Amino acid sequence: MTSRILHITGARPNFPKAAPVMRALDALQVTQSLVHTGQHYDDKLSDIFFRQLSLRKPDLSLGVGSGSHATQTAAVMVALETVFLEQQPSLVVVYGDVNSTLAAALVASKLGIPLAHVEAGLRSFDRGMPEELNRIMTDAVSDLLFTTSADANVHLGREGVAEEKIHFVGNPMIDTLLQSRDRFDASELLAELKLAPGDPYLVATLHRPANVDDPAELAQLVAALIECSAEAPIVLPMHPRGAQAFAATGILNEPRIHIVEPQGYLEFMGLVSGSLGVVTDSGGVQEETTMLGVPCFTLRPNTERPVTITDGTNTLVTAENVAATLRDRLTRNQTENRTPPLWDGRAGERIARILSEWLEKQ
């Protein structure tokens, strides 16, 4: 029987990580299929990524949609169990820390199917974050763990993961950034916002439940964004899950905060790369700004990506100090553009080589 890899993606952060791995596996002539769970189903959060990243169309789309963490995870598990039993893959590969990642990991583990986790070992040490629980549980049942930074190896070792399972390969999302950089383009959006080439602006992204689900917390953050907008206009792509809550704060009436719909990968990265800085609560944006040398201000008490602080451009901030911190950073006009180890655009190739060799040994 031919060995076959089954890749599971579900949400926007998965696609830039999967694209270089699948491309490198194709070059090695490894048989593979792609399952998209449909955890993110809006075009700008899902389908456009397949077009812009030259990621093959999913061989199977499950269309599970949104819901609570339990509802969504359960729906993915039920659907994937049928898929795994029918297709009998030699190896399942999951990416990141979304609900689809955990669901696939649990189903594969219970069916005795080997599992590989790309972006393993990241830890915020905040179990109040759903993503932290997804990361811990996925790593616990994985057979191959691919890490993006040296600290992730340390975390896995402390949790008792055997050293031979852990592979420090670098960051496949950075592969995608470097491969796509010449195509970044936010000119159409900026023209619509009447921002001329070279005009200063900031970017903001906020979507984490801890920030947007509590009206009082969100009101504080919006007040902080308004204060930041005194430095430069802010472009805020609005994640669907936060749109109604944001509208209730009155932010739509702020003349220096431009609310826009979610952007495609190339448009959003063009927006980020041309900005003075980014205020965010996203994990991936911390990495992308680090690679682009753009100051990043992360509205969270912790990060599972500390390398973006030690070797990058990221700073943890609060609603109370973000405006002052941003102002100070922009005044200093300092660029700390150090590249973390192995963030060199070859992570996908390293992962593919290890996967191919592992399959041959089986």
Give yes or no: residues 195 and 323 share one domain: yes
Give yes or no: residues 207 and 304 share one domain: yes
Rounded to 5 degrees, φ, ψ at 314 are: -90, 145
Residue 109 lies in a domain: yes
Placement of tokens 């003075």 in the chain: 276
Give yes or no: residues 326 and 348 share one domain: no
Give yes or no: residues 324 and 189 share one domain: yes
- For residue 259, the domain's CATH number is 3.40.50.2000
The strand order across the sheet containing 234-237 reads 257-260, 234-237, 202-205, 278-280, 296-298, 314-316
Give yes or no: residues 316 and 352 share one domain: no
Give yes or no: residues 196 and 135 share one domain: no
Residue 178 lies in a domain: no
Quickly count: other Cβ atoms within 10 Å of residue 312's Cβ. 27
Q: Mean of the per-residue pLDDT values for the chain?
A: 93
What is the number of structural domains in the chain?
Answer: 2
pLDDT at res. 67: 77
Give yes or no: residues 140 and 250 share one domain: no
**Active-site residue list:** 207
Burial class (CB in 10 A: 0-12, 13-18, 19+), 133: middle
Are 94 and 117 contacting, i.e. CB atoms less than 8 angstroms apart?
A: yes
Whole-angstrom distance, CA of residue 205 vs CA of residue 227: 16
DSSP character at residue 260:
E
Residue 309 lies in a domain: yes
Residue 301 lies in a domain: yes
Closest CA to 89 of 73, 72, 104: 104
For the cut 70, the answer to whether the pLDDT of residue 40 exceeds it is no
User: Given pLDDT bands bounded at 50, 70 and 90, which one contains residue 316?
Assistant: very high
Give yes or no: residues 138 and 203 share one domain: no
pLDDT at res. 42: 54
Give yes or no: residues 288 and 349 share one domain: no
Whole-angstrom distance, CA of residue 223 vs CA of residue 58: 41
CA angle 130, 45, 319 (to 5 degrees): 55
Residue 43 lies in a domain: yes
For the cut 90, the answer to whether the pLDDT of residue 334 exceeds it is no
What is the pTM for the complete model shown?
Answer: 0.94
DSSP character at residue 248:
H
Residue 92 lies in a domain: yes
Residue 82 lies in a domain: yes
> For residue 68, what are the contacts with CB-CB under 8 A and spacing of at least 6?
none
For the cut 90, the answer to whether the pLDDT of residue 92 exceeds it is yes
pLDDT at res. 362: 87
Q: What single letter denotes the amino acid at residue 307?
A: V
Give yes or no: residues 12 and 126 share one domain: yes
Give yes or no: residues 217 and 143 share one domain: no
Least reliable range by pLDDT among 17-21, 61-65, 194-198: 61-65
Q: Tell me: the pLDDT tens digits for 148-167? A: 999 999 999 999 999 999 99
Give yes or no: residues 308 and 218 share one domain: yes
Domain range enclosing 297? 183-332
| 246 against 338, higher pLDDT | 246
User: Given pLDDT bands bounded at 50, 70 and 90, which one contains residue 143?
Assistant: very high
Tokens of 156: 């896995």
